[in-house]
Amino acid sequence: MDILKLSERLMSMDESSWQRHSNPLSVYSRFSILPLFTIALATRELLGWWTLAALMLVSLWTWLNPRLFAAPKTTNNWASMGTFGERVYLHYKNEGLIPEHHLRACKKIVLLQIVGLPFWFYSLYAMDFALMILSTAWLMFTKTWFVDRMVWLYQDVKDLKPAFQSWLKS
């Protein structure tokens, strides 16, 4: 099972939520999710059972985020094009539409994200705050790199389908 497809299904992303998610406020505010999860888990001894409430709030924020912001008037920006590339990647990566160099790069970036996860989990388990900061920064860096790759992907394929071109509003 493709983890990205699964997350799209769990997020119930439809055309309207994708349009709203292309708002740069949605994209940039989503970068808060991993630090918020990290803080909620790192403060579990302080919060006790309230940690579950904090985790539920962060999960709710994760789900609500692509729906909270209005569709942007202009999408000719890095954040919006990152969401467009993600849509293309999710829906067309197995159809031969995406150039091979993008597929290879995405696999490598995802592998780098996966490499960082055990360190993040261990840091939370061991309450190793230095490793927590480092592993969270690593995961944020690789996520940003992935979004940047999605921008590049979108720019390379936007003329292949009229629907892709229609997402771009100047």
Both structure tokens of 127: 């309450």
Mean pLDDT value of segment 95-100 = 88
Distance, in Å, from the CA atom of 75 to the CA atom of 73, rounded to the nearest integer, reads 7
Q: Does the pLDDT of residue 11 top 80, yes or no?
A: no
Q: What is the DSSP letter of 98?
A: S
- Please choose, from the candidates 153, 155, 152, 156, the residue with its C-alpha nearest in 3D space to the C-alpha of residue 168: 155
Would the pTM of this model clear 0.95, i.e. be above it?
no
Q: What is the DSSP letter of 160?
A: T
Give the residue-averaged pLDDT of 96-123.
95
pLDDT given at position 15: 82
Pull the structure tokens for residue 42: 């790192």
Q: What is the DSSP string of 49-82?
A: THHHHHHHHHHHHHHHHHHHSPPPS---SHHHHH
pLDDT, tens digit, 9 for 90 and up, residues 12-29: 777 888 888 999 999 999
CA-based end-to-end distance of the chain: 36
pLDDT at 135: 98
Tally DSSP H helices, then E strands, for the chain.
10, 0
